[in-house]
Amino acid sequence: MVSHMKTTIEIPDPLLAEAKRVAEERGTTLRALVEEGLRRSVDESRRRSKRFRLRRAAFGGSGLQPGVREGSWERIRDLVYEGRGT
């Protein structure tokens, strides 16, 4: 069962007038329009608060091959692009 609570909020007159106009254009009530806006705002806030988790992409092996293990990033880059143009 969904319960409802009445509350009072202060909305600037120009915003209220615009909201009433939009509600009328959509064929809905001001209450429904305000509820929709609140739901969107809450949903957006929840989405932003979820932390990104990078999936584990490790695979079996013994690490970098000899010759690369001791090399610099420049050496690794050279090996990656070896034989691919100039």
Domain limits of the chain?
13-49
Backbone phi, psi, residue 39, to 5°: -60, -45
**pTM for this entry:** 0.52
- The pLDDT, as a whole number, for residue 56 is 83
Contacts of residue 23, defined as CB under 8 A and 6 or more positions apart, other chains included, come to: 29, 30, 32, 33
Span 51-79, pLDDT tens digits: 778 888 777 777 777 777 787 888 888 88
- The pLDDT, as a whole number, for residue 5 is 87
* pLDDT over 90 at 49, yes or no: no
Cα distances from 60 to residues 3, 53, 54, 64, in angstroms, run 54, 21, 18, 12
* pLDDT over 90 at 30, yes or no: yes
Mean pLDDT score, 39-60: 82
